[in-house]
Structure 1
Amino acid sequence: MPRLNFLEETRFEKLPVSVYKNEQEASVQIAARIAKIIRKKQKKGENAVLGLATGATPVIMYAELVRLHKEEGLSFKNVITFNLDEYYPMQPDSAQSYVYFMNEQLFNHVDIKKENIHIPDGTLKKEEIIDFCLNYEKKIEAAGGLDLQVLGIGRTGHIGFNEPGSAPNSGTRLVTLDDLTRRDASRDFGGKENVPTKAITMGIGTIFKAREIVLMAWSKKKAPIVRKAVEGEISGDVPATYLQLSEHVEFILDTSAASELTRFDTPWLVKDCQWDHQLIKKAVIWLSNKVNKPVLKLTEEDYNNNGMAQLITQRGSAYDINIHIFNKLQHTITGWPGGKPNADDSQRPERAAPAKKRVLIFAPHPDDDVISMGGTFIRLVDQGHDVHVAYQTSGSTAVWDHDVLRYMEFAIDISKSINGNAEKLMDTYEKMRVFIEQKNPNQTDLPEIRDVKAFIRKSEAIAGARYCGLEDDHIHFMNLPFYETGKKEKKPVMDNDIEMTKTLLQKIKPHQIYAAGDFSDPHGTHVICFNIILEAMNQIRLKEKWTKDCWLWMYRGAWHEFATSEIEMAVPLSPNEVQRKRNAIFKHQSQKDSPVFPGDDEREFWVRAEERNRETAIHYDHLGLADYEAMEAFVRWKFD
C-alpha cells in the first residue's frame, strides 16, 4: 500500500526522481554511487568509464570524491573520463575553461592517469572539429561505453550544451549557445560579451548510450525547468525531456529544485494532505487564481472540481474557509511596518510597542535597500523610527571599468582646480588605464581600481540613504572581507565577517532587522550575507536580552518576489511613494541602464522593482482585497 500511495503521489512524473534535503546530502549520495562503480570495476580488473559535467552543480560531488580518495583510499587509476563539453574557442589554461575547472575540482587531487582524461578541445581549428568529434565518439566506444553519465540542467533545458532544437540522436558536435545560457555564464566571464557563442558538446544520442544517467539540479532557480523536464511533454524545445525515453535515468534534486513538481507545489492534486494553515492558504490562493474568482466568491463546487474536496470535508464549508483565508490575507497588509502605536496589534504583522523602534536594514549590495524595500525604508523614517542601514559589501565588482576612468578624470580636474597639481593622480590614472586596456575577462582588478569602484558605490549609497531621510551617522559601511576579491571567486566566510556583524548588532540593539531573503542573485552574495547575519544572531541570542525582542524580516525584489501565499507583511505604496522609491534608486547611477551583472532579467533595477511591487498589489486585488498602486512584501524569519 505505501508503494501504491507513492506511485499516485508521483503520477505526474515521467521518470524517476529522488529528492534530498539539500545539495550537500544529494552530492554525497551521487559520489558514493560513483565510488561504488569504481570499486566494483576494480575488483573485476576493469576500467570504470565516467561521463562528467562541469559548472556549479557538481562541485560538492567532486569535493566528496576527493575526500573519498584522500581519506578512504578510493583510487582513480582504473577510471577513464569523458567530459560533456567545452566552450569554443577556449584555451585550456583559461580560468573559464572546463579543462581548468576539472583540474581544480578533481583531477589535480586524485591519482587518475592523465592519458585517461578526455575533454573536448577548445583550441581546434574549425576544419578539425568534425574529425575530432567523430574520434571522441570512437574513444568512448573503445573504452567500453559510459558506465555512468553525470548531467546538470541549464535553464533552457539543455543537457551538456544540447540547446533547444537538438535532435534526440545527435552526436558530439559544435553547437551555438542560447542567449540565456550565455547570460547565465556571464559572471564567470566578466560579462556576456566575453562568453563564447559556441561550444563542443556530446550529443543527446551519445548521452543516451550510457548505462546509467544521473541528472542533478539544485536551487529554486532550477525548479521551473526541472518541472518541464520531469512532467512536461517530450519536446525539442526542452532537450532534457528526451531523458523520459531512457530506462536508465534518475533525477537527483534538492528540495528547492523539486519545489515546483506537482507533489510539492500542489500536493492536493495527487494525495491526501495534512492541512495546516500555510497549506490551506496556498491552496485557496491557487484555487482563486485557477478559477479566476476572488477568495470570497469560491464555491464548494470550485473546491470539489479542483482536487480540494478533502479540505472541505475536514475543515468545514467553503464559506468558512474563504472567510478565514480572506481575513488572514487582510491582516498581512499594513501601512505601519514598524507597528502602529497605541493600537491593537493582535491581528497586525508587527508589534505596536515600542512605538519608536530601532531598525537595522542590511543590504548585501549598496543598492539592495532602496531597490527591494525603498518604500518601506522611507515610511519607517517618516514614521519616526530610529532607522540604520548597513551595507554589507562594497559592491565594487559591479562597476564598469570605464566608470573608473571617468571618475578619475573628474578627480584629476578637481585636483588641478583646487591645488593646481594632480601629478600623483595622473600617474595612478595612467596605471589604471594601461591595466584596463590589457585586462582579461574576470581578471582581479588592481587595488586602486577596486578602491575607486568601492568609492563610487559608497557615494551612491550615501546619496540614496540621505534621500530616504537618514543622517550620516546612521549609515554604516561594513565592507565584509569575504567579498573583497575578484569578480568570480570570493573568500570563504571567516570569523571576522561574523564578528563585524555582531559588533554592529550589539551597538544598535535593533527591534527590527531587515535582510535580503532573495537567494537567486547571480553573485551568490545575498545568501552569504544572510547566513552571516543568522550566525551572528545565533551567537548572541542566548547571551543578550535585547535579542528576545528582535524580529527579522526578509525582503526580496531585485531578483524575484515572494509568492503571495508566503507573504506575512505587505506594505502598500501610494503613487507618490512609488516615485520617491524610484528617486532613491536613481541615486545609484552606476547601476542604471546596463548593470554589470543584470542576471536573466534585462530590465533596469528600478523598472523591475516597480513592476514586481505592482504585480504584488495586483495579486492581492485579484484575491478580492483593496487595489493599491504597489506593495512591498516581507516574510518573517523564525529563530529556533
Structure 2
Amino acid sequence: MQQLSYERIPTSVYGTADEASAAVANEIAALIRQKQQEGKPAVLGLATGSSPKKVYAELIRLHRKEGLSFQNVITFNLDEYYPMQPDALQSYVRFMKEFLFDHVDIPVQNYHIPDGTLSMEKIREYCMDYEKQMELHGGLDFQLLGIGRNGHIGFNEPGSHENSRTRLMTLDQTTRVDAAMDFGGLSKVPRRAITMGVLPILQAKRVVLIAWGEHKAGIIKQAVEGPVVESVPASYLQGHHNVSVVLDESAASELTSRKAPWLIDDVVWDRAMIKKAVANLALTLGKPVLKLTNKDYNDYGLSDLLAQHGQAYDLNIDVFNWLQHTITGWPGGKPNADDTNRPERADPVKKRCLIFSPHPDDDIISMGGTFQRLVDQGHEVHVAYQTSGNIAVADDEALRFADFVVDFNDRFNITSPQADKIFRDAARFLRTKKDSEKDTDAVRYIKGLIRKGEAKNTCRFVGIPMENVHFLTMPFYETGLVQKKPLGEEDYQLVTDLIDKVKPHQVYAAGDLADPHGTHKVCLDAVMEALRRLKAKDFMKDCWVWLYKGAWAEWDIDQIEMAVPMSPDQVMKKRLGIFKHQSQKDGVVFQGTDEREFWQRAEDRNRKTAELYNKLGLAEYAAMEAFVRWKF
C-alpha cells in the first residue's frame, strides 16, 4: 500500500482490489468489535454495486473464520431502484441478502433498505422517516460508498445539492446505461430510485469511498483532485472531516501521483519514467519529441531530469529511439533480421501463437490487424474463446434462431425429439419472458451457439483452420446472469491444459481492465494463473506474453512495447472481420455509454494511437494496435 498526500481527500492505493477490500473490511470489523466492547450498536451505511462485493465477502470470512458477530450491527442502505420488488433479480434487497445478510448473524430487524414497492404518495414521508431512524440510532458510525462514472454517490446524480435529503431521484442517463447489463437492456432499467441524500451521507462519522478498475479512474481524479462542484457529487466529500478514498492501482491511474509523479516528489529516473515524462511533456506542449528544449523541461517541472541526464537534445534522441523501436509490422518477429531493437524475436521463424479472447469477438475487435498479420506471415495461430458470451445476445436474436431451427425441421420432417424440444421450449420461453427472468439452460445454449458460429465465421475469414479454434466455455461465466461465479479449479485447468497442449511461443491475452463487465479481468487472472502453474515447463522459457486492450481503452503511449501499424486496406479488412459478429451489431445488449458499434470504437482507438505516434514526431500510419509485454 502507498499513502498519497497530493489529493484533496486522503487516498490510499493498493496493488489489487482484493487487498483494498480486505483493508476496508478489517476497518469495519474493528469498529464492530469496538462497539461490542462498549455495549453499543455499530451503525453502518452500506452500498451496493460491484465495488463492495469483495468487502462483504471478507466480512463473511471474518464472521465464519474469526467469529466476527453482527448481532450489534444496524445497517442503512444507500438506495433502491423505484419501482422494484424485493425479490427481483436487480433488487438491492436481494443483493444485500445474497452478498452479506444471509451469511452472517445480523438480526433481520437490524437492516434497513429503501422500499421500492411504495406508492408515490407515501415516498416523501417514508424518506423522512428513514433519516429519523438513523438519527434514533445515533447516526451513521461508518458510511461505505462506491462512485458512479458520472460522480454520483448513492443515487445522488450530478446536480444534487450538498444539503439534499433522502428522496426519490430521477436517474442520470449514464447511470441507467451502466445498469443496463443487469436489466438486459437500457429500456428495462427503472428511471428513478430512492436514495439517501448527500447531507445524511456527509453527517456520517466516518466515510470510506472505494473504487476499482480503469473505468473509474477519470471520475476519481475529478472527485479527489478537482474542485467541489454539483456536477460531481462525490467531490462534496472533500469537506468531510473523516473521509478516505481507497483505490486499486487501476482506479488511481489518472491521479497526478501516477500520471506525473515528478510533480509531487523525487522519482527514480529509470528508462520507463523518462519515457513517461518526455512523452507527457511533448503531448502537453503539442511538440514532437525531437523539438523539445531545455526550457521546456525546466518550465514543466523536469529540471531534475535534465540535471541527472544531460541536455534535452540527448534525452530527446533516446526517447525518440525507444518509441521508434516499439513499431513493427512483424508482430511474430521478422525472419532473418537483426532483432536487437525489435519488440519480438526473429527466431523461431514460424511461431505457435495462442490468442485468448474473453468473449467471442475480442480477438478481432482488439487485435484484428495483428491477428491477420500473424496468419499472413505464416505463423501457427490458435484462438481460445474463454467464455460463451451468451448473455450478450438479445432475446429477439435468439428467438429468430430458435424459430429458424423449428421451421427448418418442420419443413423437412427432421425428427430429433430431444433437439426439437430444446428449440421449441426455448422459443416458447422467449415469447413470454419477463424482464427480470433468468434465461433457461436451453436459451443460454442457443445464445452460445449463435456466438460460437460467429466466432468460427471470423476465423474462416482470417484464415484459421478449425482445428486451431478452441471454445473453452469456462464455467465461471455460465450463470445466466451478469453476476458471475468466482474462478474455480475447472476454469484454471481448462486454460492450463490448452497452453500445455499448444506450447506457444506467443500468448496474447486481454489486459483491458477498463472492461465494465469485469469479464476481461477474470479471464486475464485465469491466464496468468495457468502460466504460473506451467512456468517450470521447458517450452515456457520461449513463451512471451503480450497484453492487448479492448473496445474500452488503450495503453498509454509510454507503456506501449509493441505497436503494429495498419494500412487503410487492413483497417477495412478488420472491420469486415468484426462484421461477422452479427448479433453484436445494431445496438448490442451491453455496450456501455458509448453508443457506437464496436467496429467504430476499435477504428477510432487504433487511429488515435497512430495519431499519438505522429504527434510525437514518428511515422504517420492510418491506425495502430498496441501491446504491452507481461513478464511472468
Same fold (TM over 0.5): yes
Is the 1:521–1:599 Cα contact (8 Å) retained in structure 2? no
1:72 aligns with 2:66: yes
Paired residue for 1:409?
A: 403
Give the superposition deviation at 1:421: 6.5
Is the 1:405–1:429 Cα contact (8 Å) retained in structure 2? no
Residues of 2 paired with 1:614 and 1:348: CA distance? 22
Measured against aligned partners, the alpha-carbon deviations of 1:11-37 in whole angstroms (never above 9, x if no partner) come to 4x2122222222222222222222222
Measured against aligned partners, the alpha-carbon deviations of 1:88-147 in whole angstroms (never above 9, x if no partner) come to 111111221111111122222222222222111111000000000111111111111111
1:277 aligns with 2:271: yes
Which segment drifts farther, 182-191 or 613-622?
Answer: 182-191
Residues of 1 paired with 2:163 and 2:270: CA distance? 47
One-letter code aligned to 2:612: H
Paired residue for 2:611?
A: 618
Residues of 1 paired with 2:166 and 2:517: CA distance? 32
Residues of 2 paired with 1:39 and 1:530: CA distance? 37
Which segment drifts farther, 340-349 or 115-124?
Answer: 115-124
Paired residue for 2:303?
A: 309
Paired residue for 1:88?
A: 82
- Of 355, 360, 363, 2:354 maps to 360
Give the superposition deviation at 1:319: 0.6
Give the superposition deviation at 1:410: 2.4
One-letter code aligned to 1:595: V
Which segment drifts farther, 177-186 or 160-169?
Answer: 177-186
Give the superposition deviation at 1:517: 1.2
1:217 aligns with 2:211: yes
Is the 2:333–2:345 Cα contact (8 Å) retained in structure 1? yes
Is the 2:215–2:515 Cα contact (8 Å) retained in structure 1? no
Give the superposition deviation at 1:417: 4.6
Structure 2 SS opposite 1:332: coil
Is the 2:402–2:424 Cα contact (8 Å) retained in structure 1? no
1:331 aligns with 2:325: yes
Give the superposition deviation at 1:398: 1.3
Residues of 2 paired with 1:442 and 1:365: CA distance? 24
Residues 521 and 129 (structure 1 numbering): CA distance in 2 closer, same or farther, change over 3 Å?
same
Residues of 1 paired with 2:564 and 2:371: CA distance? 11
Give the superposition deviation at 1:561: 1.0
Residues of 2 paired with 1:477 and 1:51: CA distance? 43
Is the 1:190–1:487 Cα contact (8 Å) retained in structure 2? no
Which sections of structure 1, spanning at least 5 residues, go unmatched? none
Is the 1:444–1:485 Cα contact (8 Å) retained in structure 2? no
One-letter code aligned to 2:5: T
Paired residue for 2:119?
A: 125
Residues of 1 paired with 2:335 and 2:10: CA distance? 54
Is the 1:221–1:520 Cα contact (8 Å) retained in structure 2? yes
Give the superposition deviation at 1:419: 4.1
Give the superposition deviation at 1:301: 0.4
Residues of 2 paired with 1:242 and 1:435: CA distance? 47
Please, what is the CA RMSD of the aligned residues? 1.8
Structure 2 SS opposite 1:515: strand
Which segment drifts farther, 487-496 or 229-238?
Answer: 487-496
1:628 aligns with 2:617: no
One-letter code aligned to 1:490: K
Matches within 5 A, 1:346-495: 346-419=340-413, 428-441=422-435, 443-495=437-489
Structure 1 SS opposite 2:558: helix
Residues 459 and 70 (structure 1 numbering): CA distance in 2 closer, same or farther, change over 3 Å?
closer
- Of 530, 541, 547, 1:548 maps to 541
Give the superposition deviation at 1:339: 0.6
Give the superposition deviation at 1:41: 2.3
Paired residue for 2:5?
A: 10
Is the 1:442–1:487 Cα contact (8 Å) retained in structure 2? no
Paired residue for 1:42?
A: 36
Structure 2 SS opposite 1:253: strand
- Of 522, 529, 541, 1:528 maps to 522
Paired residue for 2:235?
A: 241
Structure 2 SS opposite 1:211: coil
Measured against aligned partners, the alpha-carbon deviations of 1:458-516 in whole angstroms (never above 9, x if no partner) come to 11111111111122222222222222221223233222222222222222211111111
Give the superposition deviation at 1:10: 2.8
1:516 aligns with 2:530: no
Residues of 1 paired with 2:199 and 2:427: CA distance? 49
TM-score normalised to structure 2 length: 0.96
Structure 1 SS opposite 2:370: helix
Is the 2:289–2:617 Cα contact (8 Å) retained in structure 1? yes
Matches within 5 A, 1:198-209: 198-209=192-203
Give the superposition deviation at 1:45: 2.2
Is the 2:357–2:509 Cα contact (8 Å) retained in structure 1? yes
Residues 481 and 37 (structure 1 numbering): CA distance in 2 closer, same or farther, change over 3 Å?
closer
Paired residue for 1:638?
A: 631
Aligned positions, number? 631
Residues of 1 paired with 2:317 and 2:436: CA distance? 55
TM-score normalised to structure 1 length: 0.95
Which segment drifts farther, 38-47 or 400-409?
Answer: 38-47
Residues 34 and 324 (structure 1 numbering): CA distance in 2 closer, same or farther, change over 3 Å?
same
